[in-house]
């Protein structure tokens, strides 16, 4: 009886993805074995965890292992595990969906720059497909633990794959690589040994391979274990080299690039734990949307879970690594973790270790390091900030306990120069008469730099922070102050700048002089503004719009509306520059129709200056055209 063969189409641009893998990473093709061994180890980890409560799953096959089988005659290399295995549906879902989050547009943009390809390739979920670096075709045979049914998946990576029923004596998975002619070296013992030693020595399950051994006049095959199977994090710090850290990270994170930094720690006392935490050198393309942790949790060297959100806050989701606890029960569940005091202790330690690592990077400043084989001046913290700074901002907003330490790590642009600056450096530069940390928020750096709200501050040589990220205003609202210096928005309330008695008198005189004008404008713009007043905030612009001191900014309103929230529109305050020629001209404008048009134009101009489109752009354009025609 002929077995029924099902043909399926891959659920992604498979040819583009595989071309990307092969062409961009060809010089690194040995990593295919690391990826497949990691997948096999994951399958065994899953089985081992399930067997803690489902004892029958192991049956008589209790020796968990990974086997590498070389068949010189068939030209195949098989990676075999006796792990959890896959059902038919899991096989189709896991092996038949490539780069699930990828898109054709993204693929096209990546293939333009090979270095960028190498940076990102490990973040598309294509680790299994690295098999096609060395294989013309791949056959996967798998039997789910607890099932009597086995299935076979076959593909030549030409846009489709086949699935059919198969035979397998026990649970687990065989990945059979039909090696290309130029990859037949992996049919030999030592190339395989070298790759396993380089990439997978830390894997906790034995990786075995049959090798030839001389016995008298005869040669015979015998199984030998290739890896030390000693968890890297259990070793003393001094016994682990930088190169071992880099390779461990790459295998753990399925990343092709080196980590930026790492911390290797051991905590002893009431609770005992060890861990390795890594900061990647590059952010994955889906960092903002991704909400899973990259830290694996072990208990007494037994794998528990690879998405340990209970011990890693969401804002630290960029961190990769392992944490091994001596105190949690082996059969711990997520529900128990959420309520366990030990878990809270572990989480505190993880946060503290990462913050200490980042503080060290920030203190390090610019140093000379080897990059791509050359000595270069680099600032690792600024490199980190460029990739992951937004997540630290999330931490400031959501994690009250870490807020103080995180605030010292924040970096922003400012009016000082084009660099990035922390709050401590800002405060250290403040003139003696400056009492607050000033900031202005805008949708772009150019708009923030040109904001009319900061004209008087710049004239006084007061530095202003330029906030361009949507979350930034919520951060300073949450912090309230730094080093006893309050955060003050240049676009809210009265700036209350230091002034002499003479300046106060001059200001009061101007207010009195322009009172009739502000009253007329208030009447003309009654539907748009809360009030009109004279300001000392401006030096070059005729007018600007400000919010009440404790009100929500116009930008915050826009952000919330864009997120789908129903936010009522607040009327704002129109401030006038008493010394500006336009304002003086308005004072003498007797025609009420013309006055109303000029007032509306000034209001719309103030909106445009802060990067906001007027409510009626056509009317704004008509008034502007009419004014230009008269000129």
CATH of the domain at 279: 3.30.230.80
Question: Do residues 68 and 211 share a domain?
Answer: yes
The neighbouring-strand residues paired with 375 are 370
Question: Do residues 243 and 272 share a domain?
Answer: yes
Q: Note the pLDDT of residue 578.
A: 92
Stretches in the chain below the pLDDT threshold 50: 25-26, 99-125
CA dist 626 and 631 (Å) reads 9
Domain end, chosen from 427, 462, 490, is at 490
Question: Do residues 592 and 481 share a domain?
Answer: no
CATH of the domain at 504: 1.20.120.790
- Given a contact cutoff of 8 angstroms between Cβ atoms, the answer to whether 465 and 439 are in contact is yes
> What single string gives the DSSP state of each residue in 126-188?
-GGGGGGGTEEEEEEEEE-TT-S-EEEEEE-SSSEEEEEEE--SSSEEEEEEEE-GGGGGGGS
Question: Do residues 630 and 518 share a domain?
Answer: yes
Q: What is the DSSP letter of 421?
A: B
CATH of the domain at 419: 3.40.50.11260
Question: Do residues 523 and 556 share a domain?
Answer: yes
3-class DSSP assignment, residue 504:
helix
Question: Do residues 154 and 39 share a domain?
Answer: yes
The residue assigned the tokens 């098999």 is 131
Cα separation values, 552 from 117, 352, 477, 480, 606, Å: 42, 33, 10, 14, 18
Domain of 525, in residue numbers: 497-631
Question: Do residues 266 and 374 share a domain?
Answer: yes
Q: Note the pLDDT of residue 611.
A: 84
- Given a contact cutoff of 8 angstroms between Cβ atoms, the answer to whether 187 and 70 are in contact is yes
Question: Do residues 73 and 141 share a domain?
Answer: yes
Question: Do residues 149 and 294 share a domain?
Answer: no
Q: Note the pLDDT of residue 200.
A: 81
Question: Do residues 244 and 288 share a domain?
Answer: yes
Question: Do residues 136 and 192 share a domain?
Answer: yes
CA dist 86 and 141 (Å) reads 9
Question: Do residues 192 and 251 share a domain?
Answer: no
Q: What is the DSSP letter of 590?
A: -
Q: Note the pLDDT of residue 6.
A: 82
Domain end, chosen from 463, 490, 517, is at 490
Q: Note the pLDDT of residue 2.
A: 61
Query: How many domains does the structure of the chain reveal?
Result: 4
Average pLDDT, the chain: 86
Crossing angle, helix 592-609 and helix 617-630, to 10 degrees?
Answer: 120
Domain end, chosen from 430, 465, 490, is at 490
Cα separation values, 416 from 119, 413, 425, 432, 466, Å: 33, 8, 11, 17, 10
Over the range 423-448, which residues count as b (16 or more CB within 10 Å of their CB) and which as e? beebeeebeeebebbbbbbbbeeebb
């Amino acid at each position: 009886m002929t077995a029924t063969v099902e043909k399926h189409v891959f659920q992604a641009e498979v040819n583009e993805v595989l071309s990307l893998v092969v062409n961009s990473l060809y010089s690194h093709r040995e990593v295919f074995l690391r990826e497949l061994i990691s997948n096999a180890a994951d399958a065994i980890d899953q089985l081992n965890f399930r067997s803690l409560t489902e004892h029958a799953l192991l049956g008589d096959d209790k020796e968990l292992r990974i086997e590498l089988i070389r068949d010189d005659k068939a030209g195949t290399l098989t990676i075999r595990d006796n792990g959890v295995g896959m059902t038919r549906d899991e096989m189709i879902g896991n092996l038949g969906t490539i780069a699930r989050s990828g898109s054709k547009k993204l693929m096209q943009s990546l293939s333009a720059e090979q270095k960028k390809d190498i940076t990102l390739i490990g973040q598309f979920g294509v680790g299994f497909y690295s098999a096609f670096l060395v294989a013309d075709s791949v056959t996967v045979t798998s039997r789910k633990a607890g099932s009597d049914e086995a299935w076979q998946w076959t593909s030549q990576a030409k846009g489709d794959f086949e699935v059919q029923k198969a035979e397998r004596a026990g649970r687990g998975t065989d990945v059979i690589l039909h090696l290309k002619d130029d990859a037949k070296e992996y049919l030999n013992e030592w190339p395989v040994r070298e790759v396993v030693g380089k990439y997978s020595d830390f894997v906790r399950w034995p990786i075995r391979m049959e090798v030839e051994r001389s016995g008298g006049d005869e040669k015979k095959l015998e199984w030998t274990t290739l890896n030390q199977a000693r968890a890297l994090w259990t070793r003393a710090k001094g016994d682990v080299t930088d190169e071992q850290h880099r390779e461990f990270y790459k295998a753990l994170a399925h990343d092709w690039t080196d980590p930026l930094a790492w911390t290797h720690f051991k905590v002893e006392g009431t609770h005992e734990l060890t861990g390795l935490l890594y900061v990647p050198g590059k952010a994955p393309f889906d960092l903002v949307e991704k909400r899973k942790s990259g830290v694996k949790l072990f208990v007494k060297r037994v794998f528990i879970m690879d998405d340990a959100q209970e011990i890693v806050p969401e804002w630290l989701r960029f961190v990769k690594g392992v944490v091994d606890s001596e105190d949690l029960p082996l059969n711990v569940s997520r529900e128990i973790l959420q309520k366990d005091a030990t878990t809270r202790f572990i989480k505190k330690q993880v946060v503290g270790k990462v913050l200490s690592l980042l503080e060290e990077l920030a203190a390090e400043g610019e140093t000379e390091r080897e990059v791509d084989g050359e000595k270069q001046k680099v600032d690792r913290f600024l490199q980190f900030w460029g990739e992951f700074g937004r997540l630290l901002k999330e931490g400031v907003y959501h994690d009250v306990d870490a807020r103080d330490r995180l605030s010292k790590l924040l970096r922003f642009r400012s009016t000082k120069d084009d660099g990035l600056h922390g709050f401590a450096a800002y405060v250290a530069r403040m003139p003696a008469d400056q009492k607050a940390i000033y900031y202005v928020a805008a949708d772009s750096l150019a708009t923030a730099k040109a904001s009319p709200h900061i004209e008087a501050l710049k004239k006084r040589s007061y530095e202003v922070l330029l906030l361009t990220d949507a979350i930034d205003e919520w951060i300073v609202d949450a912090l309230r102050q730094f080093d006893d210096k309050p955060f003050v928005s240049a676009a809210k309330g009265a700036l209350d700048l230091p002034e002499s008695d003479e300046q106060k008198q001059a200001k009061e005189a101007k207010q009195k002089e322009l009172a009739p004008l502000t009253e007329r404008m208030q009447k003309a713009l009654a539907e748009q503004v809360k009030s009109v007043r004279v300001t000392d905030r401006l030096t070059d612009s005729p007018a600007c719009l400000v919010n009440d001191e404790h009100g929500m900014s116009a930008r915050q309103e826009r952000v919330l509306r864009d997120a789908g929230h129903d936010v009522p529109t607040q009327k704002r305050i129109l401030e006038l520059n008493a010394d500006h020629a336009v304002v003086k001209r308005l004072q003498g404008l007797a025609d009420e129709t013309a006055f109303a048009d000029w007032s509306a134009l000034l209001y719309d101009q103030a909106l445009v200056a802060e990067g906001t489109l007027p409510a009626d752009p056509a009317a704004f354009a008509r008034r502007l055209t009419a004014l230009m025609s008269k000129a």
